[in-house]
Structure 1
Amino acid sequence: MPFYLYQLTYSKDAIKAMVAKPSDREAAARKLIEALGGKLHHMFFAFGQYDVICLIEGPDDKFMMAGAAAVASAGTVSGSATTKLMTSADAMAALAKAGEVLGAYKPPHG
């Protein structure tokens, strides 16, 4: 199954609510991901642009979009990003395939 890096930034109201009454956000994320047929491998809180970073495994891109949309629809996220990840083996296969078709692409010339 594909892997996804999901990063989110909580809204100010969400941070305020979590400070006032902390709750296990990893358990909530795991429940959603498993309900959609995926697996949460890791969830980290972070410093910087994103408050949370998750490594998620799921069946396909529709799975990931459904999960991200469900989280966003709650109104507690002010921003997010999803990156589809590849294993090293898949990347090596893609690079080999690129090598096979190099002559098919003509770059623009100025």
Structure 2
Amino acid sequence: MSYYLFRGKYSNAALKSLVDNPEDREKAAGEMIAALGGKLHHLFFAFGEDDVIALIEAPSDEVMATCALVVGASGTMSAGSTTKLMTQDEAMAAMKAAGAARAAYRPVGG
């Protein structure tokens, strides 16, 4: 499974609803992600550009896209982004592959 960082901004209507009737959004998000075969590791409320930051583990990019589409289509978020993350082992494998592929690359002006 892969890891993803989701960052989102609540819509004005969603923020009003959360103030009027506070609810556990971690539970709601976790249930939807689990139904698709993934796992919500953490959901944080944040100050700054984003209202929510979540660390999600999903079996595929398609599942993560499905999660983002469900949330986006609900009108809950006014903006959001998803970043695919790599484990240290995956990064090390990429570094080794880059070392091997370096000979096949011609840099600009080279």
TM-score by length of 1: 0.96
Which residue identity is paired with 2:89? Answer: A
Secondary structure of the corresponding residue to residue 64 of structure 1: helix
Corresponding position of 1:109? 109
Distance (Å, rounded) in 1 between the aligned partners of 2:76 and 2:39:
22
| Deviant stretches of 4+, over 4 Å | none
Secondary structure of the corresponding residue to residue 7 of structure 1: strand
Distance (Å, rounded) in 1 between the aligned partners of 2:89 and 2:31:
30
Distance (Å, rounded) in 2 between the aligned partners of 1:33 and 1:96:
33
Q: Which runs of 5+ in 1 are unaligned?
A: none
Corresponding position of 1:17? 17
Secondary structure of the corresponding residue to residue 80 of structure 2: strand
- Once the two structures are TM-superposed, the CA of residue 107 in structure 1 deviates from its matched residue by 1.8
In the alignment, structure 1 residue 26 sits paired with structure 2 residue 26: yes
Q: Which runs of 5+ in 2 are unaligned?
A: none
Corresponding position of 1:97? 97
Which residue identity is paired with 1:100? Answer: A
Corresponding position of 2:71? 71
- Once the two structures are TM-superposed, the CA of residue 103 in structure 1 deviates from its matched residue by 1.5
Could you say what the CA RMSD is over the residues aligned between the two structures, in angstroms? Answer: 1.1
Corresponding position of 2:55? 55
Q: Give the percent of matched residue pairs that are identical in Structure 1 and Structure 2.
A: 53
Which residue identity is paired with 2:106? Answer: K
Which residue identity is paired with 1:17? Answer: S
Residues 26-60 of structure 1 show CA distances to partners (whole Å, capped at 9, x for unaligned) of 11000100011100111100011110111100100
Residues 40-88 of structure 1 show CA distances to partners (whole Å, capped at 9, x for unaligned) of 1111000111101111001000000000000000012111010101111
- Once the two structures are TM-superposed, the CA of residue 98 in structure 1 deviates from its matched residue by 0.1
TM-score by length of 2: 0.96
Secondary structure of the corresponding residue to residue 101 of structure 1: helix
